[in-house]
Amino acid sequence: MNFDNVFENYSKYIYNYALKLSCNPSVAEDIAQETLIKVWENISQLKDDNAIKKWITIICLNIFRMKMRKEKGFRELSYEEINELEGDGKLFISNDPLPEDYVIVDESIKDLQNGCFLAMVRRLTLNQRIAFSLVDMFGIKVDETAEILQLSKAATKGLLYRARMNLDSFFGDHCNLLSIDNPCSCSAWIEFSKRRSDLQKEVEKIKLVNYLNYKEKDYKYDEEVRKKVKYLYENMPDKKPSDEWYTSVITALHKTNEIKYN
């Protein structure tokens, strides 16, 4: 496969994967650009065209990890932590949403809902976020995810179990889409945000958590919540990078090409 085909068919995928890893559009643009440059530099090393997506995913993930290491936001799991994860992996439950579990989201609030759900992924630990994004947002199988992460299948299941429990416990208590009795309503926030001066005062009162931890609330697995949260994450729409981003990537590739052959 030549690079032009990769750029045409996978640039949007790379950007969206970088976005769901970083939960930050500008950071995602940087990671995606670096990924495409790395792909361009090493495309001749790809021996099997059928493995292109996995190969690109690993490159993007490694670039994200390197960036997080520089910012001291990522570290390798210890032997003891892996053992604990493998224990949690035994609690992992695989399920697929049934038609009656689908959540109907009004078009007027979809952007806010998706933004909120993406923001809360950032409140997972980095290892949980990576496992969750691969499996629950991109549909990659647990076996393949374990291979990408270079972890045992049990440890990967443990990361996914913790990520899901953390998100379920938060949204199960807060999100009005999951239960009408929950306090946080997207439509109410849209109305509230129109009063900008009031919004700023209220936002300053909100204490944001660094990381979600379902154990602090003694949350127990809830199948109904799990299926609804899973459905909402699986159906988050892909974002299209800006035209300016495509232009900047092409410019960066040209510069890389000049350096390589000068």
- How many Å apart are CA 27 and CA 193, to the nearest integer? 25
User: Mean of the pLDDT values across residues 240-253?
Assistant: 89
**Banded pLDDT at 206 (limits 50, 70, 90):** very low
Q: Which residue has the tokens 């510069």?
A: 255
- 153-174 vs 142-149: helix crossing angle, rounded to 10: 110
Do 32 and 247 form a contact (C-beta atoms < 8 A)? no
Confidence of residue 128 (pLDDT cuts 50, 70, 90): very high
Q: Where along the chain do its domains lie?
A: 3-73, 79-234
In 3D, which of 136, 145, 151 has the Cα closest to residue 54?
145
Give the closest residue to 174 by CA, choosing from 123, 239, 100. 123
- Identify the H or E element spanning 167: helix 153-174
Residue that wins the pLDDT comparison between 50 and 184: 50
The pLDDT of residue 120: 86
112 close to 189: Cβ distance less than 8 angstroms: yes
Tell me the one-letter amino acid at 217: K
Q: Does domain 3-73 have CATH number 2.60.120?
A: no
Region of 152 please: left (phi>0), alpha (psi -120 to 50) or beta: beta
Task: Phi first, then psi: give them for residue 258, nearest 5 degrees.
Answer: -65, -45
**Model confidence band, residue 203 (pLDDT cutoffs 50, 70, 90):** very low
